[in-house]
Amino acid sequence: MRVGRQVSLPRKDQCGCRYTKQGKRMRCDLHQNKYVEPKRPTYYPMSPERILALGKGIDDATAQAIFFFLYLTGGRINEVADMAPSRIQELQDRYVIRIKTLKQRKGDNIRRIPIPKGKAALCCENEMMEIVMRYVGGFSNMDKPFKKWNGPYGTRLYLRRKIPELTLEARVKTVTGEYIDKEITKPFHPHYLRHARASHLVDFYRFDTAQLCAFFGWKNPAMALRYTKYLDIWKAFSPS
């Protein structure tokens, strides 16, 4: 959804828009500039320390566990809502979490996500996983602790009631076409944590495109660019 104030416009047959032979619409000046405000900003990822502090500030154990689990696994909300404690394996140097990739219809729909443990953890994973394990430890292997909130839609609404909004650094395009960095307060959406985790995996653990695709279950390497937002990182890690 584009952000901006709309102005009243004439019908298509009364303006200067034209169409190519391939059917592509070439907008006239009036339709091209119908949004007089800047487009939606590009939000920068929070630091792991800020994410940890934000999660610790949640006063509900379920919402807190969902929040940290979303960040650690980089999972979609429907994947996390389907999680069962039996899919968490604790090893000596790491955790291995098996997430069901619900969007994938064919082949193996389980992706195995390693979460570093101990000294190998660079993004506050130790404290986050301690909170998650404390929460799921009270459930049997047959329970699905997050699904009781009526699946992914209910889980998302439940989490957003606990975190209504975030204040983030963002890159904004002004009406003059220039880009500036400023703080913006926006409604919290759980998918933001997936973007933040992708950037942190590159910044802290130097993940390449193949590792990012394996971690997030992407088939198209271009998704790494979309999530990390850094063109120089994409060029450095893209296969030759």
> Which band of pLDDT confidence, cut at 50, 70 and 90, is reported for residue 204?
very high
Q: How many domains does the chain have?
A: 2
My answer on whether 133 and 29 are in the same domain is no
Judging by beta carbons within 10 Å of its beta carbon (0-12, 13-18, 19+), is residue 156 exposed, middle or buried? buried
Which residue segment(s) compose the domain that 115 sits in?
48-162
Look up the CATH number of the domain holding residue 85. 1.10.443.10
User: Is the model more confident about 81 or about 22?
Assistant: 81
User: Is the model more confident about 6 or about 221?
Assistant: 221
pLDDT digits 0-9 by tens, 70-111? 999 999 888 888 888 888 999 999 999 998 876 655 556 788
My answer on whether 127 and 77 are in the same domain is yes
How far apart, in whole angstroms, are the C-alpha atoms of residue 197 and residue 46? Answer: 9
What integer pLDDT is reported at residue 194 of this predicted model? 93
CB–CB of 201/208 below 8 Å?
A: no
Max distance between CA atoms of the chain, in angstroms, equals: 70
My answer on whether 137 and 59 are in the same domain is yes
Question: Cα dihedral angle (226, 229, 231, 233), rounded to 10 degrees?
Answer: -100
My answer on whether 52 and 33 are in the same domain is no
CB–CB of 79/99 below 8 Å?
A: yes
> Which band of pLDDT confidence, cut at 50, 70 and 90, is reported for residue 30?
low
Which of these three, 129, 162, 195, is where a domain ends?
162
How far apart, in whole angstroms, are the C-alpha atoms of residue 232 and residue 212? Answer: 16
63-83 CB burial, b ≥16 within 10 A, e <16? bbbbbbbbbbbbbbbbbbbbb
pLDDT digits 0-9 by tens, 140-199? 655 667 766 666 778 888 898 999 999 998 888 787 778 888 899 999 999 999 999 999
My answer on whether 29 and 75 are in the same domain is no
CB–CB of 159/71 below 8 Å?
A: no
My answer on whether 28 and 110 are in the same domain is no
235 pLDDT more than 60 = no
> Which band of pLDDT confidence, cut at 50, 70 and 90, is reported for residue 69?
very high
Neighbours of 227 (CB within 10 A): 21
Arithmetic mean of pLDDT over the chain: 80
My answer on whether 24 and 65 are in the same domain is no
Which of these three, 132, 162, 192, is where a domain ends?
162
What integer pLDDT is reported at residue 91 of this predicted model? 92
What integer pLDDT is reported at residue 9 of this predicted model? 47
My answer on whether 55 and 26 are in the same domain is no
